[in-house]
A and B are shown apart, each in its own frame.
Chain A
């Protein structure tokens, strides 16, 4: 048996995908023009699948900060902070993120994936219990493989399911850590955090919330779901990423735990990989300032959410359960989804394909993510494109529907 034989099933599924003429998992952007446009296959294409929630990848202040940092401190750090030491910029960024959340400590990682992997797998160990939502991100599942703690899943966004599991485990010794997400990356729904926190308090469980997709988008100050739900004080660990709203790359974890900093010398995903270049750190610091100084970006993002979500719903598309910066459009099966995706690309609109096994409950989705940088015209155009394809493919009823006038409060 060859090394690659175990992947035969995936290879086969992948071959199906590729028969559509373009491989959704290997899209090449010949040139990116702005947070919302790129040249793909020689065509100017509208991007609605980039997680660029505030459109900060081209923010002048962020770009200038990065360029200046490269001039001053070079292109890379060439090692981990444990081996090579920290730059002043790393430490300043950590202080600024901690202050943003009103927490005492912050650790910055090279990616959000590594932040989840490192923090979760290190916080719990032999004899502890790790409880995760069934629809958790891959980085959380991978952390489960790296820890000696016993891992138990509960039903997605279901506090009663968590309660039942904590109750069954009640007489077991060890710490309990519950991992939740601010906005789930595929369907765009949020955890009922207040209810989850009540359950966690009842059983003395620690809570970690991954705010990867909710930073900037949720909460009066953009701190995420924990702020919006008014429970930031009850969340022991917030994990997040710089790769979405902040328009760069990297991850972080904040906490008030007095011993938090010990993680720096026991977390392998922090210790054994190179630290972020200071250009990235400088752009992230600038982006965090933008998030705090320009709440109108959050307003604009949500205006765009309403436009797309209400617009697609009015045309009869089946969408994820709640409107948000991630809009999942349900389609009947994998083949329809990939065909639909391809037709959209041909019409100059790029979204993500999400098909099993990357999706919960085996659903097939076109995953759209919105940006404050999208114009209403771009989104209206996208709705028109999707409606046309939807009718053509028989996903939507053929005739035009009565226009539903959405009320905006």
Chain B
């Protein structure tokens, strides 16, 4: 046996590593028909709540996360973790946030605005 091929046999499910568990919310918007409904209902409040949900584990202070929170400064989160959170948010809202746009997002408000804008562009 080619030892090189043997190497992959040890990995039971290549490609599944790193997949997050799907929440009911993710499942709902992954479904094509529901996506439309969900899109129309995406409100700023919901987007903010979703972002805060993602960021809360990184909040090591007593200060609440608000729209003005500067993500990389006010929270204990490194730049890679921010980018990984963006990937999850992209999938939640079925949008793609380009890397150069990611670089311009500093506050929670800016992130919410970006999501809403890209969401609107997708529909429109």
Contact = CB atoms under 8 A, between A and B. Distances in A.
A118 to B, nearest CB: 19
Interface stretch (B2-10, B43-51, B59-67): B2-10
Given A154-B87, A168-B95, A305-B7, A357 B2 contact: no
B83 A153 contact: yes
A320 B78 CA distance: 22
A298 B17 contact: no
Interface residues of B, number: 33
Interface in A105-160: 134, 144, 150-160
Contacts of A59: none
Interface stretch (A187-195, A286-294, A337-345): A187-195
Interface residues of A, number: 43
A228 B5 CA distance: 7
Interface in A187-230: 189-190, 192, 195, 217-220, 228
Contacts of A306: 3
Interface in B49-93: 78-81, 83-84, 87, 90-91
A150 to B, nearest CB: 5
B8 A156 contact: no
Candidate in B10, B14, B100, B122 with the most chain A CB atoms within 10 angstroms: B14
A133 B123 CA distance: 27
B7 A161 contact: no
B3 A158 contact: no
Contact of B4 (A154, A165, A217, A409): A217
Given A159-B15, A362-B78, A150 B83 contact: no
Contacts of B15: 157-160, 192, 195
A155 B80 CA distance: 12
A388 interface: no
B122 to A, nearest CB: 7
Nearest to A169: B96
A357 B78 contact: yes
A150 B18 CA distance: 24
Contacts of B6: 302, 409
Contacts of B122: 168
Nearest to A171: B122
Given A168-B122, A169-B96, A361-B84, A158 B1 contact: no
A324 interface: yes
Nearest to B18: A156
A397 interface: no
Contacts of A154: 87
Given A155-B87, A299-B3, 14 more contacts: A152-B96, A153-B99, A155-B19, A157-B18, A158-B19, A159-B15, A164-B91, A169-B96, A192-B15, A218-B7, A322-B11, A323-B7, A360-B80, A362-B80
